[in-house]
Structure 1
């Protein structure tokens, strides 16, 4: 009989509890390394928790509907016996450390009292975290298997410094009793709605927002889009105006690198990014989600359309992975399918700008010779005034406008 081991929930972002949505294995079932054991609902998405070991499932400690936090035991697993000739160094690299055990090596950072698990990181990263006074168990890893990297530790330090320097929000004032005026009903916020509200308030209070408004004459773009509509539809594609804007935005970011940046208050610098990832704000029944489309500069319009549709659908179904919701250069949010002429979108930190799209404006006129029709796309660019000044924002919008108005510049790059 192999060693019996409790498999504990690890690698969660923060200390907030998560909901158990579904148990994906049964007692007596054999599982492999990285095989999903359960589906959990976090603040951002539904995620599958993988098995760190191979073995035989024993007792399952939770059921759907329960809540769990870092370090809670999910199930017991009878570990598969290791081959006697397996090399220890290879085995250690192949699987995460036993995060739920209370014993720690001399290289590890002492964990706070309680059940916070040991982080998945190399001894060098534990030493680096100790030098900075960081509890590695609090750091969200971005490496393979969510391994904590040096960049993760540094980003954690920056975030903590920024949050500690921000003015503390006072407790919200209680509302009056509206029931004395008539019937009322309380509608609880979803987890995502609560998180979105907190993030938007923090962004609005900590970033000096300015919004620049512009209109692009997309008459030629609309004619080209209409021309491709039938062919695209036959291939299952929807070439909506935001698809063209996302592609054009990658070109504008390459020309104006300060818009593809983050403000590092902790180190007194601006971090310029060399990649072009565009966040896409998606309105879902559960709240606002922002999946990220990677390497837009390397993709065709058709590829952008396919990936935008896929990300949007999975966002509405709450099937996005955590690694699909971070690292954007800039976010695009569109109200064009609803209405409005302009609005002030709130920046999604740590980005320094966000682009809003409103409903297309159609102008028609007539002359004795022929009727004319023009299409104008309203653009609303909110930017962080600590990083970008008004003149730079005006030039950026003008450059984006030129790309959108010259369809061949957009198509041919």
Structure 2
């Protein structure tokens, strides 16, 4: 019996990957959990193992080919003793796939108008079944167009004319939605809260379409100016481009700068450098910044949050996982250190060293690349005083730091040389006000300037 090996879930929000290396060959005996091939996805190279033991009957993809989650990549001839046990597995998938389109949305009988409650139930259920294909069904199915497209044919002249209840009007004000652009699904075209949420969902989905337009910009013939050569975009670079395009076009960034005296932290680094080495840790400035950042997130929960515009909610996280931007030869990778608030400086340094090395080798797992509450990007090792980093959604803030520098500070009767660092806090203005941004970065500076007293109990 043949078993189809499919691409598993590759991580948060990742639907596509590129095959970089095929490890198994046709006719080869393969053990359960033995890798069949490697794919490049979500800023990492991941091995896809065989879920069963048997003989490789066929490899369905080639190196360099793009594959989707749940796509068949190989066929394995099952061992005879496992055939009965595994028989259910390949049958489960077709049953689920057949079950999805089975309830074809029959056009409702319109001989007699059904009760309003019946209409209200049918439309959302029809949409939910087609949700994985929303960008396509929106253009071709009437239910999506009827619910989400602007009224257009009979526009309301005034917001007060729009039939909507107090709860719907309140949510529309909070999300900045013009009720005249929302199609109501209740009796008489009345708009309810769900209609507004669905409208926002649709607008967010459509907002990604312009990013495709950049590919259509006509380029000059560069060969007329001199020699050129072309190279394909890597999967990593495509991921970075898509995420940065979304972040820059959809998130209103505000930047807050603050100059911090880190002379005492540098002294602590020197004081405990040997102990850090003995514990297999690293006494970098990033280690201290991560600890201070976790403490600051505890005090300012709006920075440890994400926006759910579709539901009109703010998601406040009660954990403190921090992403760290790592420069690799292939591009920027952001592994995540979990529960930073519960770790000692030595543990943070050790975990930072481990993840940075794995990132450079492209061997971080999907779990190690997901779940960050906020990201720290430190370019001090390369140079530059400061820069303005782009927020990594669904996070609402990111901290960028550059190289430390010495400046004279007047103390007592003389100038003293002090080591300073310029912090740049980028935050999402939809959730965070300027005053809160200022309070956050000033408090972070205070923690860093009094690190031993604040976090070490000195």
- Give the equivalent residue in structure 2 for 1:168: 210
- Give the equivalent residue in structure 1 for 2:44: 45
- Give the equivalent residue in structure 1 for 2:318: 274
Matches for 1:136-215 after TM superposition, within 5 Å: 162-165=204-207, 168-169=210-211, 170-171=213-214, 172-215=216-259
1:102 pairs, out of 81, 94, 98, with 94
- Give the equivalent residue in structure 2 for 1:59: 57
Matched, 1:381 2:425: yes
- Partners of 2:361 and 2:319 in 1: how far apart? 28
- Partners of 1:224 and 1:247 in 2: how far apart? 14
Matches for 1:83-94 after TM superposition, within 5 Å: none
Structure 2 vs 1, CA of residues 175 and 310 (structure 1 numbering), >3 Å: closer, same or farther? same
Residue pair 1:4, 1:76 contacting (<8 A) in 2 also: yes
Deviation at 1:131, TM superposition (A): 7.0
Gaps of 5+ in 2: 103-123, 135-198
Matches for 1:7-26 after TM superposition, within 5 Å: 7-12=5-10, 16=16, 18-23=18-23
- Give the equivalent residue in structure 1 for 2:2: 4
- Give the equivalent residue in structure 1 for 2:455: 410
| Structure with the bigger percentage of helix | 2
- Partners of 2:80 and 2:415 in 1: how far apart? 77
Deviation at 1:39, TM superposition (A): 2.0
Tell me which structure has the larger Cα radius of gyration: 2
- Partners of 1:26 and 1:185 in 2: how far apart? 36
Deviation at 1:362, TM superposition (A): 1.4
Deviation at 1:15, TM superposition (A): 5.3
Deviation at 1:264, TM superposition (A): 1.2
Q: Report the secondary structure of 2:372's partner residue.
A: coil
Q: Report the secondary structure of 1:318's partner residue.
A: coil
Structure 2 vs 1, CA of residues 74 and 225 (structure 1 numbering), >3 Å: closer, same or farther? same
Structure 2 vs 1, CA of residues 405 and 48 (structure 1 numbering), >3 Å: closer, same or farther? same
Structure 2 vs 1, CA of residues 385 and 5 (structure 1 numbering), >3 Å: closer, same or farther? same
Structure 2 length as normaliser, TM-score?
Answer: 0.71
- Give the equivalent residue in structure 2 for 1:119: none
- Give the equivalent residue in structure 2 for 1:284: 328
- Give the equivalent residue in structure 2 for 1:329: 373
Q: Report the secondary structure of 1:313's partner residue.
A: helix
- Partners of 2:355 and 2:242 in 1: how far apart? 24
Please identify, of 61-70 and 272-281, the stretch whose mean Cα deviation from structure 2 is larger: 61-70
Please identify, of 190-199 and 229-238, the stretch whose mean Cα deviation from structure 2 is larger: 229-238
Residue pair 2:320, 2:373 contacting (<8 A) in 1 also: yes
Deviation at 1:31, TM superposition (A): 1.7
- Partners of 1:167 and 1:317 in 2: how far apart? 33
Give me the CA root mean square deviation.
3.4
Please identify, of 402-411 and 177-186, the stretch whose mean Cα deviation from structure 2 is larger: 177-186
Matches for 1:339-378 after TM superposition, within 5 Å: 339-364=383-408, 372-378=416-422
**What CA deviation, in whole Å up to 9, does each residue of 1:191-213 have, x standing for no partner?**
21122122112111101001000
Residue pair 1:311, 1:320 contacting (<8 A) in 2 also: yes
Q: Report the secondary structure of 1:189's partner residue.
A: coil
Residue pair 1:248, 1:403 contacting (<8 A) in 2 also: yes
Structure 1 length as normaliser, TM-score?
Answer: 0.78
Residue pair 1:7, 1:100 contacting (<8 A) in 2 also: no
Deviation at 1:14, TM superposition (A): 5.5
1:245 pairs, out of 289, 292, 315, with 289
Structure 2 vs 1, CA of residues 302 and 24 (structure 1 numbering), >3 Å: closer, same or farther? farther
- Partners of 1:105 and 1:175 in 2: how far apart? 43
- Partners of 1:365 and 1:69 in 2: how far apart? 58
Residue pair 1:341, 1:358 contacting (<8 A) in 2 also: yes
- Partners of 2:228 and 2:101 in 1: how far apart? 50
Gaps of 5+ in 1: 112-128, 140-156
Structure 2 vs 1, CA of residues 79 and 68 (structure 1 numbering), >3 Å: closer, same or farther? farther
Deviation at 1:266, TM superposition (A): 0.7
- Partners of 1:239 and 1:215 in 2: how far apart? 21
- Partners of 2:21 and 2:312 in 1: how far apart? 43
- Give the equivalent residue in structure 1 for 2:307: 263
- Partners of 1:382 and 1:368 in 2: how far apart? 35
Structure 2 vs 1, CA of residues 398 and 386 (structure 1 numbering), >3 Å: closer, same or farther? same
- Partners of 1:376 and 1:80 in 2: how far apart? 69
- Give the equivalent residue in structure 2 for 1:221: 265
Structure 2 vs 1, CA of residues 161 and 36 (structure 1 numbering), >3 Å: closer, same or farther? farther
Residue pair 2:40, 2:236 contacting (<8 A) in 1 also: no
Matched, 1:293 2:337: yes
Residue pair 1:158, 1:264 contacting (<8 A) in 2 also: no
Q: Report the secondary structure of 2:81's partner residue.
A: coil
- Partners of 2:61 and 2:312 in 1: how far apart? 48
Deviation at 1:397, TM superposition (A): 0.6
